[in-house]
């Protein structure tokens, strides 16, 4: 099959892909392949190694390496001569990314993107790293010299190369097998309140008491850590975990990591005090932080937290929302070839457009705080509620910024990230009484069902307007769908969303469950087989598939009365009891499921047309409660209930029905 004769001479195979990141490379002189059988077959037929390059559209150093090497005809000529070149969007193919990231970490002791890995024709990794400059600098070998060295080793020391590939592949399989087999039945470790306290102490040890956050610079928002501290406070009423959460939330929202004009958070801060960010904006960060700030508002009643929620949601709906109902994945850090150019300001422009009140409010100086320009921030930490004159200045600056060249938009729609934001959006809409947000949440749910689920019911991972949907969805996609549809049911009172949650949960269990050792595999039983079949277990920038599944299945079980959902959640917890006990802060989202299991879920049913009772439940911070109202669904929760009353049940015991919001809140307290 001579595909080259069928393509435009100026583009490569990536022109037909749905990923904007892959299409960014369609005009490269590199003869790129997307990941797939065609590339593997060519490598085998021509006895050439595969050069695998993995990145994503909002990755700054991915763009740097592309400009330096992949757009350079001389570098591309070497790539095309020596290798079969494969480009992967890590956001579309997290399975491929996870396998080879583990190999790169084994080779170099660290990982990141862009990721550059050399593979045997059958896909086994034998060497790799991250960013390589075109020529040697900063202690890094030049990319061309590296490629020639790898080629020489492939031709002249093949036995050593294959032995290295065998060794690394075996190590990856052994690690996966150890995780897959778990840690026994958990008999030596208790899934109890002590786990939450140990996690609290571990996070307290790494917490920056002055600037918030956990660990040293660069600092990532890690909303699951903040959420865990809020849970610990709600459980124990201890002030320290609440102080840790509030300090972190205030510092992030006051610093340059937050977009003070348009709302929403940048990816992370390069410094310890949240001032200079990596300027890309990711949908999943907005999802996690909306929920963290919402819960902080519910616990404290502080309006500055609800303001951050409102501005962040408005950012997503305005700038990432698509007319069909989906949400785009990310905005780049760069515009017009410069990182952060869209967001930074000269003092003269702020003074001219916003006036002296804007200069003072946003800490603007002549010298600036970023390469001679100003990243707008709030020097008085936590003082975020703008007086009218400052709000007027903000609007003028925002309107003026609108005329600038925007950063690039990655407009692919990922099921995981959309369901993650849908879950937060539905909860925030209900808590803050925003019907417009609820309409947007319903539209997103409808979009996911109509666009990313095949006619046979199989969910897909990614959709793009020009190319449709493709790639089989992963366990994490399904887990977030379960959570999102449960939240949408609780926000709308519509029974159909709970039915969709059950369908997604059934697919999650049928396709991804490990019948031998328990836990959910990353890929389905019907998916392509890679070097190893992974399980996503650790909570990082986003919660792991198994953590999300455990939380969502416990809540779904409480809403439906279906015990098998809770049984699978508890099996995940048993699988991870030992690592949970040793490293609880590495499972901050999973500990929410531990809290639910230890505390017991509170089930609230509101029967009939009682919006006051529904609002009383939705507005409070109740991390271990589920709500059924509106349309009755197939569940024991609805049996024997009387119109106009609210019922609260916990630990298999129900309290007396109540008819007033005050009495309901007293029972929930």
pLDDT digits (tens, 9 = 90+) for 288-331: 999 999 999 999 999 999 999 999 999 999 999 999 999 999 99
The share of the chain scoring above pLDDT 90, in percent, equals 83
Burial of 134 (C-beta count, 10 Å sphere; 0-12/13-18/19+):
middle
| Predicted local distance difference test score (pLDDT) of residue 396 | 98
Q: Are residues 496 and 562 in the same domain?
A: yes
Q: Are residues 541 and 564 in the same domain?
A: yes
97-111, 344-358, 533-547: lowest mean pLDDT where?
A: 97-111
Q: Are residues 573 and 629 in the same domain?
A: no
- Residue 9 in this model has a pLDDT that exceeds 70: no
Total-model pTM: 0.93
Q: Are residues 552 and 630 in the same domain?
A: no
| Predicted local distance difference test score (pLDDT) of residue 181 | 54
- Residue 184 in this model has a pLDDT that exceeds 90: no
Q: Does residue 186 belong to any structural domain of this protein? A: no
| Predicted local distance difference test score (pLDDT) of residue 195 | 87
Give per-residue pLDDT as tens, 15-40: 888 898 999 999 999 999 999 999 99
Q: Are residues 319 and 354 in the same domain?
A: no
Q: Does residue 188 belong to any structural domain of this protein? A: no
Q: Does residue 97 belong to any structural domain of this protein? A: yes
Q: Are residues 483 and 472 in the same domain?
A: yes
Q: Where are the alpha helices (DSSP H) in 182-282?
A: 193-206, 223-236, 239-254
Alpha carbons 571 and 439: distance in angstroms, whole number? 36
- Residue 176 in this model has a pLDDT that exceeds 80: no
Of 558, 578, 599, the position where a domain reaches its end is: 599
- Residue 2 in this model has a pLDDT that exceeds 80: no
Of 583, 599, 615, the position where a domain reaches its end is: 599
| Predicted local distance difference test score (pLDDT) of residue 449 | 98
Q: Are residues 533 and 625 in the same domain?
A: no
Burial of 348 (C-beta count, 10 Å sphere; 0-12/13-18/19+):
exposed
Q: Are residues 423 and 518 in the same domain?
A: yes
Mean pLDDT of 593-598: 94
Q: Are residues 428 and 573 in the same domain?
A: yes
The answer for residues whose C-beta is within 8 angstroms of residue 210's C-beta and 6 or more apart is none
Indicate the Cα dihedral angle 330, 336, 340, 341, nearest 10°. -130
Q: Does residue 212 belong to any structural domain of this protein? A: yes
Mean pLDDT score across all residues of the chain:
93
Q: What are phi and psi of 172, to 5 degrees?
A: -65, -45
The structural domain count of the chain equals 4
Cβ count near 470 (within 10 Å): 15
Alpha carbons 335 and 397: distance in angstroms, whole number? 18
Q: Give Cα separations from 364 to 188, 222, 251, 261, 347 (angstroms).
A: 57, 28, 18, 14, 6
Of 181, 213, 241, the position where a domain reaches its end is: 181
Q: Are residues 382 and 436 in the same domain?
A: no
| Predicted local distance difference test score (pLDDT) of residue 4 | 36
DSSP conformation class of 310? H
- What is the widest separation between alpha-carbon atoms in the chain? 82
Mean pLDDT of 518-542: 93
Mean pLDDT of 172-195: 66
Mean pLDDT of 576-584: 90
| Domain interval for residue 607 | 602-668
Q: What's the pLDDT band for 170 if we cut at 50, 70, 90?
A: confident
| Predicted local distance difference test score (pLDDT) of residue 178 | 61
Alpha carbons 116 and 101: distance in angstroms, whole number? 9
Give per-residue pLDDT as tens, 617-662: 999 999 999 999 999 998 999 988 999 999 999 877 889 999 999 9
Segment (H or E) for 603: strand 602-606
Q: Are residues 563 and 610 in the same domain?
A: no
Q: Are residues 510 and 454 in the same domain?
A: yes
Q: Does residue 113 belong to any structural domain of this protein? A: yes
- Residue 187 in this model has a pLDDT that exceeds 70: no
DSSP conformation class of 519? S
Q: Which residue has the higher pLDDT, 131 or 10?
A: 131
| Predicted local distance difference test score (pLDDT) of residue 58 | 82
Beta strands in 221-361 (DSSP E): 268-269, 277-278, 281-282, 330-331, 334-335, 338-339
For CA atoms 339, 341, 343, 345, the dihedral sign is positive
- Residue 185 in this model has a pLDDT that exceeds 60: no
């Amino acid at each position: 099959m001579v595909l080259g004769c069928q393509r435009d001479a100026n583009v490569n195979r990536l022109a037909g892909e749905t990923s904007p990141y892959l299409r960014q490379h369609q005009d490269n002189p590199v003869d790129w392949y997307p990941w797939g059988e065609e590339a593997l077959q060519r490598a085998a037929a021509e006895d050439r190694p595969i050069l695998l390059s993995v990145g994503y559209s909002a990755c700054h150093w991915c763009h740097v390496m592309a400009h330096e090497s992949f757009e350079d005809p001389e570098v591309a000529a070497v790539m095309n001569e020596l290798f079969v070149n494969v480009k992967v969007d890590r956001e579309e193919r997290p399975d491929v990314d996870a396998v080879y990231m583990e190999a790169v970490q084994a080779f170099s002791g660290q990982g990141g993107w862009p990721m550059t890995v050399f593979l045997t024709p059958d896909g086994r990794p034998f060497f790799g790293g991250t960013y390589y400059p075109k020529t040697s600098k900063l202690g890094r070998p030049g990319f061309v010299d590296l490629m020639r060295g790898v080629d020489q080793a492939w031709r002249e020391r093949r036995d050593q190369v294959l032995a290295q590939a065998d060794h690394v592949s075996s190590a990856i399989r052994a690690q996966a097998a150890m995780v897959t087999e778990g840690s026994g039945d958990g008999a030596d470790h208790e899934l109890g309140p002590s786990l939450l306290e140990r996690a609290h102490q571990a996070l307290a040890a790494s917490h920056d008491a002055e600037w918030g956050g956990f660990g040293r610079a660069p600092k990532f928002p890690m909303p699951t850590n903040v959420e865990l501290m809020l849970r610990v406070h709600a459980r124990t009423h201890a002030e320290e975990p609440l102080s840790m959460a509030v300090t972190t939330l205030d510092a992030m929202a006051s610093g340059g990591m937050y977009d003070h004009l348009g709302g929403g958070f940048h990816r992370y801060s390069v410094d310890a005090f949240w001032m200079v960010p990596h300027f890309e904006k990711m949908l999943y960060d907005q999802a996690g932080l909306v929920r963290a700030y919402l819960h902080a508002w519910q616990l404290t009643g502080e309006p500055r937290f609800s303001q951050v929620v409102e501005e962040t949601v408005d950012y997503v709906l305005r700038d990432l929302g698509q007319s069909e109902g989906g949400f785009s994945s990310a905005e780049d850090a760069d515009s017009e070839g410069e990182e952060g150019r869209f967001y930074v300001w000269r003092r003269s422009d702020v003074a001219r457009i916003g006036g002296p009140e804007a200069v003072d409010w946003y800490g603007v100086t002549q010298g600036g705080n970023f390469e001679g320009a100003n990243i707008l921030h709030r020097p008085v930490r936590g003082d975020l509620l703008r007086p009218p004159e400052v709000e007027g200045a903000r609007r003028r600056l925002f309107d003026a910024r609108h005329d600038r060249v925007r950063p690039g938009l990655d407009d692919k729609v990922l099921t995981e990230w959309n369901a993650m934001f849908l879950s937060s959006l539905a909860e925030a809409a209900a808590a803050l009484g925003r019907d417009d947000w609820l309409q947007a949440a319903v539209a997103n749910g409808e979009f996911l069902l109509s666009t990313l689920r095949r006619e046979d019911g199989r969910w897909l991972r990614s959709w793009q307007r020009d190319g449709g949907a493709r790639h089989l969805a992963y366990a994490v996609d399904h887990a977030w769908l379960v959570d999102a549809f449960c939240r949408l049911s609780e926000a709308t009172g519509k029974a159909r969303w709970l039915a969709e949650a059950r369908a997604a949960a059934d697919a999650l269990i049928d396709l991804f469950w490990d019948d031998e050792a328990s836990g959910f595999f990353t890929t389905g039983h019907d998916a392509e087989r890679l070097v190893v079949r992974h399980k996503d277990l650790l909570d990082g920038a986003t919660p792991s598939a198994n953590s999300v599944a455990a939380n969502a299945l416990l809540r779904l079980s409480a809403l439906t009365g279906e015990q098998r959902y809770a049984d699978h959640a508890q099996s995940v917890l048993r699988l991870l009891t030992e690592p949970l006990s040793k490293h609880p802060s590495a499972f901050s989202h999973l500990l929410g499921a531990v809290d639910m299991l230890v505390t017991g879920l509170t089930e609230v049913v509101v029967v009939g047309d009682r919006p006051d009772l529904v609002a009383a439940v939705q507005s409070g911070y109740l991390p271990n409660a589920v709500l059924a109202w509106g349309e009755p669904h197939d569940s024991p929760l609805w049996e024997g209930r009387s119109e106009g009353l609210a019922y609260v049940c916990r630990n298999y015991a129900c309290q007396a029905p109540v008819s007033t919001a005050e009495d309901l809140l007293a029972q929930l307290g």
